[in-house]
Amino acid sequence: MKKYFATCFSAQTIRTVFLCFLAVGIFLSCASPAAAQKDKKKKSDTPTDSSKTPLPFSDEQQIEYTLSEMLGAWQLGDIEKLHKDYGDDVVVVNGVWAPPVIGWTSYLAVYQQQRTRMQQVRMDRSNTYITVRGNVAWACYQWDFAALVDGQPASSQGQTTVVLEKRNNRWVIVLNHTSQAPSPPTNPPAAKPEEQPAKPAQP
């Protein structure tokens, strides 16, 4: 009898232990995919760092930014930023009767010579029109300039056309043609007196 109970107890203990292992195995096999799914969901819910992801800009938007950066650097005298927006082989045509300035180094010398004479520089751009054709583009805009030149207030207006080329996935200016609009006369001509219509002759 004792032997029977011992055998039954042993068999029952073995069966209980086996069922426990089986239950734990089934639980773990079900829990792992759920945990992995939860972890995956948690990762997908975590917002990504947008500062490391480049924002997609169209070519027109990139050129608009290049023009703004170039004019800002031109006003401030930031040569490093200005050079970033111009090609080393740039050709610059200005509004005076002079040969074109060819190459960044030549342009930089002319720019620095002019810039030393100016303070409180302001250059506003308006009516910009941009056209893109593959890796080449052009833009034209009007500008309004004001500054102290040699200590005296000066202002002018004009138009600029630039040709840009996409190099190493960046737009750079390869041609800059600027012309100054003629200044309006300081004293407008006197208006002519209106002529009175002739009265019909009296009978």
d(C-alpha 191, C-alpha 20), whole Å? 110
- Give domain limits for the chain: 59-180
Average pLDDT value for residue range 4-13: 47
Q: Which residue has the higher pLDDT, 13 or 66?
A: 66
- Among 92-96, 151-155, 185-189, the minimum mean pLDDT is found in 185-189
The pLDDT value given to residue 36: 47
pTM over 0.75: no
**Fold entry, domain 59-180:** Nuclear Transport Factor 2; Chain: A, (3.10.450)
pLDDT band for position 96 (cuts 50, 70, 90)? confident
SS3 per residue for 20-79:
HHHHHHHHHHHHHHHHHHHHHHHHHHCCCCHHHCCCCCCHHHHHHHHHHHHHHHHHHCCH
Average pLDDT value for residue range 120-147: 96
The pLDDT value given to residue 26: 42
pLDDT band for position 186 (cuts 50, 70, 90)? low
Average pLDDT value for residue range 101-130: 94
Average pLDDT value for residue range 167-180: 96
Mean pLDDT (the chain, rounded): 78
pLDDT band for position 125 (cuts 50, 70, 90)? very high
How many Cβ atoms sit within 10 Å of the Cβ of residue 162? 25
